A and B are shown apart, each in its own frame.
Chain A
Amino acid sequence: MGQQHDAYFVPAKSYWPFVAAVVMFTTVFGAAHWLNAEPGDTGFGKTVLTIGFVGVLAMFFGWFRSVIRESLAGSYNSQVDTSFRMGMMWFIFSEVMFFGAFFGALFYIRMFSVPWLGGEGRGVLTHEFLWSHYAASWGADGGNGPQHVGGAFHTVAAWGLPLLNTLILLSSSVTVTIAHHALRAGHRGKILVFLGLTVLLGALFLNFQAHEYIEAYRELNLTLHSGVYGATFFLLTGFHGLHVTLGTIMLAVIWFRVLKGHFNKDHHFGFEAVAWYWHFVDVVWLALFMFVYIL
């Protein structure tokens, strides 16, 4: 900061923001209509949702295309670059807080609500009068609460697929960093290889997670409905998986942009933003591995 800029830059008008608002509205309106409809009556909502979702994809494509064009035309000065960086950092911070809400819920449930239901502490009458049989515990025997909502289930073993997934994500963080260094050094071939590896590792992670979910539903009877254990398990890992999906798509886009020669060693905000995002997803996973799978 503090450097002088000969002139300020203000981007030209664009219809993309307005389009974005319209398609976002269409998407959530469709989703809400679907959720609220009677079981046999979901067609309209699903159609609107699909239209909205396709619209969102098209919007991202169009908006980013116009930004990339302007960037390649050299329109953006270093001040714009800094604004983009700040924007991305604060966006990631907001994502951290979003996950924070779900981790907070997990901690609260494990430290307070389940033990209280089991009769710990003072003044907790549910145990006295409603569910005196309930012995508080987490995981397979108690994690679905005194009413055993969803029936008996087994938890996913931490040292199987989740461990593998941890190793995969950690290595992907390494590969993306190697690609970053290669970018700074200007070795395009090396970037493509290591960035490509990162994309593949991301896809592999998702593949294993899908397996894990299928196994949870089919064999372990661990579902969204498995009391609060299932709720926290699937929402935390599910939102994380969604972020990995997004991150993988973004990495793939960056890979194509590298191929097209969009970046050089001084100008590669797009690359860095996605790399930050990837590291963020990685850190969230470590927390998940720790608190959801191991402990």
Chain B
Amino acid sequence: MSHAATHDQHDDHHGAPKNFFQRWCMSTNHKDIGTLYLIFALTMFFIGGSFAMVIRAELFKPGLQLVQPYFFNEMTTLHALVMIFGAIMPAFVGLGNWMIPLMVGAPDMALPRMNNLSFWILPFAFTLLLSTLFMPGGSAAGGWTMLPPLSLQSSSLAYTVFAIHLMGISSIMGAINIIATILNMRAPGMDLLKMPVFVWSWLITAFLLIAVMPVLAGAVTMLLTDKYFGTNFFNPGGGGDPVLYQHIFWFFGHPEVYIMILPAFGIISEVIPTFSRKPIFGYKAMVFAIASIAFLSFIVWAHHMFTVGLPLGADIFFMYATMLIAVPTGVKVFNWVSTMWGGSMTFETPMLFAISFVILFTIGGFSGLMLAMVPADFQYHDTYFVVAHFHYVLVTGALFAIISATYYWLPKWTGRMYSEFWGKVHFWNSVIWVNVLFFPQHFLGLAGMPRRVPDYNVAFANFNMISSIGGFLFGASQLIFLGVLIHCVFFSKKRAADRVWEGAKGLEWTVPSPAPHHTFDVPPVIHEGDLAHGHVND
């Protein structure tokens, strides 16, 4: 193999360029692009959050209060699309961008220009998606799953579909980049089974993304041709079947929910060992658990379709396959708890979010198991019980992990400490109000309140009011988060050490805080203490 000498093209070797456009729009720097992703995700989090506030305000009391039913449906649809594709996924990609090269000793992502493209597609895609709100006829309002024939009635379907195509292209390119970085850019000595669990989780997530985003693209393309080009994929009169759409969508959709949780597993597997001052319990088991969850996620999709009239054998197969996922998930929860067991634990903000993740995500897992039972799901399906389930796994799961990661690595990014006091205020407010918000929804669902309705039976009034109050306060608590971030980035005086946390291991802590614009111009030499897992040369 040819050993090219230093062909370093950085015009800006020692710092970021001063010109705004050059720095942010022409970037080939994983840290700047990661920052862009994170800021974008935060923005979308607040936009999607404001939609949720509209939903909870409307549901505060029975009867139509504030908005028209169609607008309510637009809100539920866009809330989900914005949060999934605009907030959670880009936040994980941003974290991956920032941390994966630092964790494996790479100078940057493997394909830095494509990385920039992956990011810049997103603001345009969401402009397209959100602009439909202002169009005559309004935005898509048939739910984020866009099931035909209802979704075909949306007058702006073409915009929505193309926005989803763009997001898909962005995710696929982002995922290709992450795989190439992890497989090709590791420093010598950073063997696969010495990588941090976060890197492993992203490797597997990236594989899932490349496998299922094109399937979503196919599904929405069929919607597009059914609406505008007269095809009959989903029209039984022409030999098609609306249930076909559901199969294709959920073949994407279920792996998609794991795309939103596996990187979170990775984050928690970094944070808990650090603040327990112990290596993670069962490193290899953790890696294999992630891999088996990813594999199983391809054969459980129809648990979203138990009530559409599948053949009985299919219902039963998908029920058992779904329950099987509880096994590797249980392994993970067990190992996190075992990592804490006997550790000398401290409870800084990232750790608080991580611990609450373990508890609350597990609650979401249990409600998932209840939903996985076919006869039970006949009752729970499309009720608020499902809403409660996926908000436990997504808000107290994926989102709490993202917040935990933000507190954990923020000092590395900025070189300054955030305010621990206000971080804790943020944590306690979040964890209390999120439960006030979502726990009552279990009861609402069990009592039969359907999801996606702007009005409801008075019997559901009390729990809805409690949930709405929790919702408003949870929303307000996130403003504290914003405050902590702004304070840390612009005003904090407290310098962060290179190894920010006492028990932290991994290459990312060997570079200065803030991490310089370029790290690892040459492959770093890995020392024994730097590795979180395994030994040098073993």
Contact = CB atoms under 8 A, between A and B. Distances in A.
A binds B: yes
Contacts of B214: 94-95, 97-98, 100-101
A147 to B, nearest CB: 4
Interface in A91-105: 91, 93-95, 97-98, 100-102, 104-105
B10 interface: yes
Given A24-B124, A143-B239, A224-B231, A10 B28 contact: yes
Interface stretch (A78-86, A154-162, A180-188, A243-251): A78-86
Contact of B210 (A94, A112, A116): A94
Contact of A15 (B26, B218, B232, B522): B26
Given A87-B111, A230-B231, A36 B158 contact: yes
Contact of B4 (A76, A109, A228): A76
Interface in B326-369: none
A40 to B, nearest CB: 16
Contacts of A79: 184-185
Interface in B430-452: none
Given A86-B180, A113-B244, A145-B239, A11 B213 contact: no
B248 interface: yes
Interface string B156-169: 10110111011001
B4 A77 contact: yes
A13 B219 contact: no
Interface of B: 1-12, 17, 22, 25-29, 106-108, 110-114, 116-117, 120-121, 123-125, 127-128, 155-156, 158-159, 161-163, 165-166, 169, 172, 175-177, 179-180, 183-185, 188, 210-215, 217-219, 221-222, 224-226, 228-233, 235-241, 243-244, 247-248, 251, 309, 311, 518, 520-523
Contacts of A12: 9-11, 28
A224 B230 contact: yes
A222 B5 CA distance: 60
A116 B244 CA distance: 13
B114 A87 contact: yes
B523 A5 contact: yes
Contact of B113 (A14, A91, A146, A230): A14
A129 interface: no
A36 B7 contact: no
A18 B107 CA distance: 22
Contacts of A28: 128, 162-163, 165-166
Interface of A: 1-18, 20-22, 24-25, 28-29, 31-32, 35-36, 63, 70, 74-79, 82-84, 86-87, 90-91, 93-95, 97-98, 100-102, 104-105, 108-109, 112-114, 116-117, 121-123, 126, 142-147, 149-150, 224-225, 227-232, 234-235, 266
Contacts of B230: 224-225
Contacts of A266: 2
B28 A20 contact: no
A13 B127 CA distance: 25
Secondary structure of the A contact surface, majority rule: helix
B116 A31 contact: no
Nearest to A234: B231
A79 B156 CA distance: 45
Choose among A14, A97, A235 the residue with the greatest number of B CB atoms under 10 Å from its CB.
A97
A150 B238 CA distance: 9
A86 B179 contact: yes
A293 B350 CA distance: 58
Contacts of B237: 145-147, 149
A29 B247 CA distance: 29
A146 B232 CA distance: 12
Nearest to B175: A90
Given A18-B116, A29-B128, A147-B237, A13 B26 contact: yes
Given A5-B3, A35-B224, A149-B235, 4 more contacts: A8-B185, A78-B3, A87-B177, A234-B231
A156 B238 CA distance: 19
A109 B120 contact: no
B308 to A, nearest CB: 11
A241 to B, nearest CB: 15
A228 B8 contact: no
A166 B5 CA distance: 47
23 contacts: A6-B5, A7-B7, A8-B107, A8-B520, A10-B108, A13-B28, A24-B121, A24-B124, A28-B166, A35-B158, A77-B7, A83-B185, A86-B180, A90-B179, A101-B251, A105-B233, A109-B244, A112-B241, A145-B237, A224-B225, A234-B231, A235-B221, A266-B2
